[in-house]
Structure 1
């Protein structure tokens, strides 16, 4: 199992393409999904300066945070047939080490029927740093009663 800081860095500084610019493939040679590769291959240069980090262990990350006041704006690459909203859509930081909370809401669009896993991203950016979190939506069967 990877330490929590590694997974956090990987989620924000990884990429989903191989060294030829092609999508990462699974063991059968077909394009892989985030369920196969997680946050992607780690980009060590980006990992050294991630900008915004998620809550893991504050002391592990404090040296990497932005020094000045900054705003991160959310953008969404929504999974197919799913609408995604983030509240608030802008995180305003006044000082180093400050934390913020946000809520992500998912809705299946109209009469859509999701038959396979679908994927997207929640992206925070302040113009200098970009932090992407993967979104995975797994289909559920409405004929199963949950207790």
Structure 2
């Protein structure tokens, strides 16, 4: 979607939810987007060679403003999370040195997951969701693993209440095929059994030899 379209949708969402952060608004748009067109067919990439589009072409997909107004769950981020992403969780001290230990780059709480160097061993990414829908809600995880990759979510079910609006989970990835290749795509969706499908895109690249990963 073009920036003017998304900016207008963000303005409407902000009027509906004035307390939401920019990250929450972005999450609402991304997690409710669809990877299918108005005819129910997969989105096509408008390149020189016709192909079915992937998340590198469309991001999370086509924006659905009505669904974004009631996303169910959001992936929120605060400024300290960005400092963590840039390996300076506590900010800069004297001499521009980080005041705390480095954080994991894969754990920035974005509504997407990218693993660029998955080897045969297991890699994990942590995410945190905030319930902005019905107070007492139960969400179950639905996985669509990338080809050649085994995915698991712990816990597989999130139970929310008035006292527990924020919950974290961990997604693990394990290569099942020892094949050096390009990125493969999948998704993770949380469903409450009703109208809320909170989906994020996933991109994983299996790496066997590091030298090849730099030129593939």
TM-score (norm 1): 0.81
CA separation of 1:33 and 1:114: change in aligned 2, threshold 3 A: farther
User: Which residue matches 1:88?
Assistant: 155
Report Cα offsets for 1:96-124 as digits up to 9, x if no partner. 77111111100001x43152221111111
User: Which residue matches 1:24?
Assistant: 43
Once the two structures are superposed, the pairs formed by residues 1-147 of structure 1 within 5 Å of their partners are 3-28=22-47, 29-56=50-77, 65-95=132-162, 98-109=165-176, 111-128=177-194, 129-144=196-211
Report Cα offsets for 1:6-52 as digits up to 9, x if no partner. 43123211011222222212222321110110110111111111111
**Residue 20 of structure 1: SS of its match in structure 2?**
coil
CA contact (8 A) 2:178 2:208 kept: no
How many residues align? The count is: 139
Asked which structure has the greater CA Rg, the reply is 2
Distance 2:32 2:163 in 1: 20
RMSD of equivalent CA atoms? 2.5
For structure 2, the residue ranges without an aligned partner over 5 or more in a row are 8-21, 79-130
Report Cα offsets for 1:118-140 as digits up to 9, x if no partner. 11111111112111111111243
